[in-house]
Structure 1
Amino acid sequence: MQFIQLSSQSAGLAALFNEIDTLMNSLYPAEANDLIPIEEVDNPNTYLIGHYEQKELVACGSYVVKQDQSKYAELKRIYVKPSQRGKGMAKAIIQHLLSQAKATGLKQIKLETGDQQHAAIKLYEAFGFEFCDAFGQYRQEPSSVFMQLSLEG
Protein backbone atom coordinates (compact mmCIF):
# COMPACT_ATOMS: atom_id res chain seq x y z
CA MET A 1 0.00 0.00 0.00
CA GLN A 2 1.53 3.27 -1.09
CA PHE A 3 0.79 6.64 0.47
CA ILE A 4 1.62 9.98 -1.05
CA GLN A 5 1.68 13.38 0.60
CA LEU A 6 -1.33 15.44 -0.45
CA SER A 7 -2.06 19.14 -0.82
CA SER A 8 -5.34 21.03 -1.02
CA GLN A 9 -5.11 20.72 -4.80
CA SER A 10 -4.69 16.92 -4.89
CA ALA A 11 -7.11 15.12 -7.17
CA GLY A 12 -10.18 13.90 -5.31
CA LEU A 13 -9.34 15.53 -1.98
CA ALA A 14 -12.24 18.01 -1.95
CA ALA A 15 -14.71 15.22 -2.70
CA LEU A 16 -13.22 12.96 -0.01
CA PHE A 17 -13.32 15.76 2.58
CA ASN A 18 -16.98 16.40 1.65
CA GLU A 19 -17.69 12.70 2.20
CA ILE A 20 -16.02 12.83 5.62
CA ASP A 21 -17.90 16.02 6.57
CA THR A 22 -21.24 14.52 5.51
CA LEU A 23 -20.59 11.43 7.64
CA MET A 24 -19.46 13.38 10.71
CA ASN A 25 -22.36 15.83 10.45
CA SER A 26 -24.79 12.89 10.24
CA LEU A 27 -23.38 11.38 13.45
CA TYR A 28 -22.77 14.45 15.61
CA PRO A 29 -24.04 18.02 16.02
CA ALA A 30 -22.07 20.56 13.98
CA GLU A 31 -20.68 22.24 17.12
CA ALA A 32 -19.14 18.91 18.18
CA ASN A 33 -17.22 18.50 14.89
CA ASP A 34 -13.74 20.00 14.59
CA LEU A 35 -12.97 19.22 10.97
CA ILE A 36 -9.92 20.87 9.46
CA PRO A 37 -10.90 22.71 6.29
CA ILE A 38 -9.19 21.80 3.05
CA GLU A 39 -7.33 25.14 2.97
CA GLU A 40 -5.49 24.22 6.18
CA VAL A 41 -3.86 21.10 4.75
CA ASP A 42 -1.21 23.27 3.05
CA ASN A 43 -0.14 24.67 6.44
CA PRO A 44 3.46 23.61 7.22
CA ASN A 45 2.26 22.15 10.54
CA THR A 46 -0.04 19.71 8.71
CA TYR A 47 1.09 16.40 7.24
CA LEU A 48 -1.57 14.78 5.03
CA ILE A 49 -1.29 11.51 3.15
CA GLY A 50 -3.60 9.61 0.85
CA HIS A 51 -3.94 6.40 -1.09
CA TYR A 52 -5.22 6.13 -4.66
CA GLU A 53 -6.80 3.06 -6.26
CA GLN A 54 -7.06 3.36 -10.03
CA LYS A 55 -6.65 7.15 -9.85
CA GLU A 56 -9.40 7.53 -7.21
CA LEU A 57 -8.47 8.90 -3.79
CA VAL A 58 -9.92 6.26 -1.47
CA ALA A 59 -8.27 7.01 1.88
CA CYS A 60 -6.51 9.77 3.76
CA GLY A 61 -5.10 10.65 7.13
CA SER A 62 -3.20 13.51 8.67
CA TYR A 63 -1.72 15.00 11.75
CA VAL A 64 -1.38 18.62 12.78
CA VAL A 65 1.51 19.69 15.00
CA LYS A 66 0.18 21.66 17.97
CA GLN A 67 1.42 22.99 21.29
CA ASP A 68 -0.06 22.84 24.80
CA GLN A 69 2.41 22.40 27.63
CA SER A 70 4.54 20.58 25.05
CA LYS A 71 4.52 19.95 21.32
CA TYR A 72 2.35 17.08 20.06
CA ALA A 73 0.67 15.83 16.88
CA GLU A 74 -3.09 15.55 16.63
CA LEU A 75 -4.48 12.90 14.28
CA LYS A 76 -7.13 14.27 11.92
CA ARG A 77 -9.15 13.13 8.92
CA ILE A 78 -8.38 9.41 9.15
CA TYR A 79 -10.82 8.01 6.61
CA VAL A 80 -11.23 5.07 4.26
CA LYS A 81 -14.06 4.94 1.73
CA PRO A 82 -16.60 2.21 2.61
CA SER A 83 -15.78 0.27 -0.59
CA GLN A 84 -12.15 -0.04 0.56
CA ARG A 85 -12.67 -1.01 4.19
CA GLY A 86 -11.52 -4.34 5.58
CA LYS A 87 -8.18 -4.23 3.74
CA GLY A 88 -6.08 -2.87 6.62
CA MET A 89 -5.86 0.58 5.08
CA ALA A 90 -6.79 2.54 8.23
CA LYS A 91 -4.21 0.57 10.21
CA ALA A 92 -1.56 1.27 7.57
CA ILE A 93 -2.41 5.00 7.55
CA ILE A 94 -2.08 5.23 11.33
CA GLN A 95 1.21 3.28 11.30
CA HIS A 96 2.58 5.63 8.65
CA LEU A 97 1.49 8.75 10.54
CA LEU A 98 2.93 7.49 13.84
CA SER A 99 6.26 6.63 12.16
CA GLN A 100 6.43 10.02 10.44
CA ALA A 101 5.60 11.89 13.64
CA LYS A 102 8.22 9.95 15.58
CA ALA A 103 10.81 10.51 12.82
CA THR A 104 10.26 14.26 13.09
CA GLY A 105 10.92 14.17 16.83
CA LEU A 106 7.37 14.39 18.15
CA LYS A 107 6.90 12.66 21.48
CA GLN A 108 3.11 12.41 21.73
CA ILE A 109 0.05 11.88 19.53
CA LYS A 110 -3.43 12.93 20.59
CA LEU A 111 -6.83 12.63 18.96
CA GLU A 112 -10.48 13.43 19.39
CA THR A 113 -13.06 11.07 17.95
CA GLY A 114 -16.71 10.40 18.59
CA ASP A 115 -18.47 7.87 20.76
CA GLN A 116 -20.30 6.46 17.70
CA GLN A 117 -17.03 5.41 16.03
CA HIS A 118 -16.58 2.11 17.83
CA ALA A 119 -14.31 0.50 15.20
CA ALA A 120 -12.01 3.53 15.20
CA ILE A 121 -11.76 3.53 19.00
CA LYS A 122 -10.89 -0.18 19.00
CA LEU A 123 -8.23 0.43 16.35
CA TYR A 124 -6.68 3.26 18.34
CA GLU A 125 -6.68 1.09 21.47
CA ALA A 126 -4.89 -1.67 19.50
CA PHE A 127 -2.12 0.86 18.79
CA GLY A 128 -1.84 1.59 22.51
CA PHE A 129 -3.79 4.84 22.65
CA GLU A 130 -5.25 5.55 26.09
CA PHE A 131 -8.25 7.65 27.02
CA CYS A 132 -7.44 11.14 28.29
CA ASP A 133 -9.06 14.47 29.12
CA ALA A 134 -9.96 17.15 26.59
CA PHE A 135 -6.90 19.00 25.28
CA GLY A 136 -6.01 22.06 23.23
CA GLN A 137 -9.01 23.94 21.88
CA TYR A 138 -11.50 21.19 22.78
CA ARG A 139 -14.27 21.40 25.34
CA GLN A 140 -15.65 18.26 26.88
CA GLU A 141 -18.63 17.32 24.66
CA PRO A 142 -20.94 14.42 25.56
CA SER A 143 -20.07 12.64 22.30
CA SER A 144 -16.31 13.32 22.35
CA VAL A 145 -13.69 10.69 23.08
CA PHE A 146 -10.12 11.90 23.69
CA MET A 147 -7.09 9.61 23.41
CA GLN A 148 -3.31 9.92 23.49
CA LEU A 149 -0.22 7.86 22.79
CA SER A 150 3.37 8.42 23.85
CA LEU A 151 5.93 7.96 21.06
CA GLU A 152 8.80 7.70 23.54
CA GLY A 153 10.40 4.38 24.34
Structure 2
Amino acid sequence: MQFVQLHSQSAGLAELFEEIDLLMNSLYPAEANDLVPISEIDSPQTYIIGHYDNGELVACGSFVLKEDIGVYAELKRIYVKPSQRGKGMAKAILEHLIMQTKRKKVREIKLETGDQQTAAIKLYESFGFRHCGAFGQYNAEPSSVFMQLALDDGQQ
Protein backbone atom coordinates (compact mmCIF):
# COMPACT_ATOMS: atom_id res chain seq x y z
CA MET A 1 0.00 0.00 0.00
CA GLN A 2 1.49 3.30 -1.06
CA PHE A 3 0.88 6.59 0.70
CA VAL A 4 1.63 10.09 -0.52
CA GLN A 5 2.05 13.18 1.58
CA LEU A 6 -0.87 15.54 1.04
CA HIS A 7 -1.42 19.29 1.24
CA SER A 8 -4.55 21.43 1.25
CA GLN A 9 -4.77 21.50 -2.56
CA SER A 10 -4.29 17.74 -3.08
CA ALA A 11 -6.76 16.20 -5.51
CA GLY A 12 -9.83 14.88 -3.71
CA LEU A 13 -8.84 16.07 -0.23
CA ALA A 14 -11.58 18.70 0.13
CA GLU A 15 -14.20 16.12 -0.86
CA LEU A 16 -12.80 13.51 1.52
CA PHE A 17 -12.75 16.02 4.40
CA GLU A 18 -16.37 16.91 3.58
CA GLU A 19 -17.29 13.20 3.72
CA ILE A 20 -15.54 12.85 7.09
CA ASP A 21 -17.26 15.96 8.45
CA LEU A 22 -20.69 14.75 7.33
CA LEU A 23 -20.12 11.41 9.03
CA MET A 24 -18.84 12.90 12.30
CA ASN A 25 -21.63 15.47 12.41
CA SER A 26 -24.20 12.69 11.87
CA LEU A 27 -22.77 10.67 14.79
CA TYR A 28 -21.99 13.34 17.37
CA PRO A 29 -23.18 16.81 18.38
CA ALA A 30 -21.20 19.68 16.82
CA GLU A 31 -19.67 20.69 20.16
CA ALA A 32 -18.18 17.19 20.48
CA ASN A 33 -16.39 17.37 17.11
CA ASP A 34 -12.90 18.85 16.85
CA LEU A 35 -12.33 18.56 13.12
CA VAL A 36 -9.10 20.00 11.72
CA PRO A 37 -10.07 22.32 8.86
CA ILE A 38 -8.36 21.81 5.52
CA SER A 39 -6.83 25.29 5.82
CA GLU A 40 -4.70 24.12 8.77
CA ILE A 41 -3.12 21.06 7.21
CA ASP A 42 -0.33 23.01 5.50
CA SER A 43 1.03 23.98 8.91
CA PRO A 44 4.57 22.72 9.58
CA GLN A 45 3.15 21.01 12.69
CA THR A 46 0.85 18.81 10.58
CA TYR A 47 1.76 15.67 8.66
CA ILE A 48 -0.95 14.16 6.44
CA ILE A 49 -0.90 11.21 4.07
CA GLY A 50 -3.37 9.68 1.69
CA HIS A 51 -3.90 6.68 -0.55
CA TYR A 52 -5.22 6.96 -4.10
CA ASP A 53 -6.99 4.12 -5.88
CA ASN A 54 -7.41 4.66 -9.64
CA GLY A 55 -6.93 8.39 -9.15
CA GLU A 56 -9.46 8.70 -6.31
CA LEU A 57 -8.35 9.67 -2.81
CA VAL A 58 -9.85 6.85 -0.73
CA ALA A 59 -8.09 7.18 2.63
CA CYS A 60 -6.16 9.64 4.74
CA GLY A 61 -4.59 10.07 8.14
CA SER A 62 -2.61 12.73 9.91
CA PHE A 63 -1.03 13.89 13.09
CA VAL A 64 -0.48 17.33 14.53
CA LEU A 65 2.49 18.03 16.76
CA LYS A 66 1.30 19.71 19.95
CA GLU A 67 2.69 20.71 23.28
CA ASP A 68 0.94 20.33 26.60
CA ILE A 69 3.09 18.72 29.24
CA GLY A 70 5.79 17.90 26.72
CA VAL A 71 5.51 17.43 22.96
CA TYR A 72 3.13 14.82 21.58
CA ALA A 73 1.53 13.92 18.27
CA GLU A 74 -2.25 13.96 18.08
CA LEU A 75 -3.79 11.66 15.49
CA LYS A 76 -6.45 13.32 13.34
CA ARG A 77 -8.56 12.53 10.28
CA ILE A 78 -7.84 8.83 10.01
CA TYR A 79 -10.45 7.72 7.52
CA VAL A 80 -11.02 5.04 4.91
CA LYS A 81 -13.93 5.28 2.47
CA PRO A 82 -16.52 2.54 3.11
CA SER A 83 -15.84 0.93 -0.29
CA GLN A 84 -12.19 0.41 0.71
CA ARG A 85 -12.66 -0.94 4.22
CA GLY A 86 -11.61 -4.44 5.20
CA LYS A 87 -8.34 -4.27 3.23
CA GLY A 88 -6.04 -3.35 6.12
CA MET A 89 -5.76 0.27 5.03
CA ALA A 90 -6.49 1.83 8.43
CA LYS A 91 -3.87 -0.43 10.01
CA ALA A 92 -1.33 0.56 7.35
CA ILE A 93 -2.10 4.26 7.88
CA LEU A 94 -1.65 3.89 11.63
CA GLU A 95 1.65 2.01 11.17
CA HIS A 96 2.91 4.73 8.85
CA LEU A 97 1.91 7.56 11.19
CA ILE A 98 3.55 5.86 14.17
CA MET A 99 6.74 5.41 12.16
CA GLN A 100 6.74 9.10 11.19
CA THR A 101 6.21 10.26 14.77
CA LYS A 102 9.19 8.16 15.82
CA ARG A 103 11.30 9.78 13.08
CA LYS A 104 10.40 13.14 14.59
CA LYS A 105 11.54 11.85 17.99
CA VAL A 106 8.04 12.16 19.42
CA ARG A 107 7.61 9.93 22.47
CA GLU A 108 3.82 9.97 22.85
CA ILE A 109 0.79 9.83 20.58
CA LYS A 110 -2.67 10.87 21.72
CA LEU A 111 -6.08 10.82 20.11
CA GLU A 112 -9.71 11.61 20.68
CA THR A 113 -12.36 9.52 19.00
CA GLY A 114 -16.02 8.79 19.59
CA ASP A 115 -17.67 5.99 21.48
CA GLN A 116 -19.61 4.91 18.37
CA GLN A 117 -16.40 4.15 16.48
CA THR A 118 -15.83 0.76 18.04
CA ALA A 119 -13.78 -0.66 15.14
CA ALA A 120 -11.37 2.28 15.38
CA ILE A 121 -11.09 1.89 19.15
CA LYS A 122 -10.30 -1.82 18.75
CA LEU A 123 -7.66 -1.00 16.15
CA TYR A 124 -6.02 1.55 18.45
CA GLU A 125 -6.09 -0.92 21.34
CA SER A 126 -4.41 -3.54 19.14
CA PHE A 127 -1.52 -1.10 18.67
CA GLY A 128 -1.18 -0.66 22.43
CA PHE A 129 -3.13 2.56 22.88
CA ARG A 130 -4.56 2.88 26.37
CA HIS A 131 -7.56 4.88 27.52
CA CYS A 132 -6.72 8.14 29.26
CA GLY A 133 -8.36 11.37 30.35
CA ALA A 134 -9.06 14.49 28.31
CA PHE A 135 -5.98 16.38 27.17
CA GLY A 136 -5.03 19.63 25.46
CA GLN A 137 -8.00 21.65 24.24
CA TYR A 138 -10.55 18.90 24.91
CA ASN A 139 -13.29 18.79 27.50
CA ALA A 140 -14.62 15.45 28.64
CA GLU A 141 -17.70 14.99 26.43
CA PRO A 142 -19.91 11.97 27.17
CA SER A 143 -19.25 10.53 23.70
CA SER A 144 -15.48 11.16 23.69
CA VAL A 145 -12.90 8.43 24.05
CA PHE A 146 -9.33 9.57 24.77
CA MET A 147 -6.36 7.31 24.19
CA GLN A 148 -2.58 7.53 24.29
CA LEU A 149 0.42 5.49 23.26
CA ALA A 150 3.86 5.90 24.79
CA LEU A 151 6.53 5.21 22.17
CA ASP A 152 9.76 3.51 23.06
CA ASP A 153 12.28 1.48 21.09
CA GLY A 154 10.20 -1.67 21.49
CA GLN A 155 6.93 -0.26 20.08
CA GLN A 156 5.65 -1.03 16.59
TM-score by length of 1: 0.99
Cα distance in structure 2, aligned partners of 1:66 and 1:116: 26
Cα distance in structure 2, aligned partners of 1:113 and 1:148: 11
1:3-152 mapped onto 2 (5 Å cutoff):
3-152=3-152
Per the alignment, in what secondary structure is the counterpart of residue 91 of structure 1? helix
Cα distance in structure 2, aligned partners of 1:106 and 1:133: 20
Structure 2 counterpart of 1:21, which letter?
Answer: D
Q: CA deviation at 1:21?
A: 0.1
Cα RMSD for the two superposed structures: 0.4
Cα distance in structure 1, aligned partners of 2:39 and 2:102: 25
Alignment length, in residue pairs?
Answer: 153
Cα distance in structure 2, aligned partners of 1:29 and 1:41: 23
Unpaired segments of 5 or more residues in structure 2?
none
Q: Sequence identity, in percent? A: 73
Cα distance in structure 2, aligned partners of 1:18 and 1:40: 15
Q: CA deviation at 1:70?
A: 0.3
Per the alignment, in what secondary structure is the counterpart of residue 145 of structure 2? strand
Cα distance in structure 1, aligned partners of 2:39 and 2:69: 27
Structure 2 counterpart of 1:7, which letter?
Answer: H
Structure 2 counterpart of 1:83, which letter?
Answer: S
Per the alignment, in what secondary structure is the counterpart of residue 42 of structure 1? coil
Q: CA deviation at 1:46?
A: 0.2
Unpaired segments of 5 or more residues in structure 1?
none
Cα distance in structure 1, aligned partners of 2:64 and 2:38: 13
Cα distance in structure 2, aligned partners of 1:3 and 1:39: 21
Cα distance in structure 1, aligned partners of 2:104 and 2:134: 24
Cα distance in structure 1, aligned partners of 2:124 and 2:88: 13
Q: CA deviation at 1:152?
A: 1.6
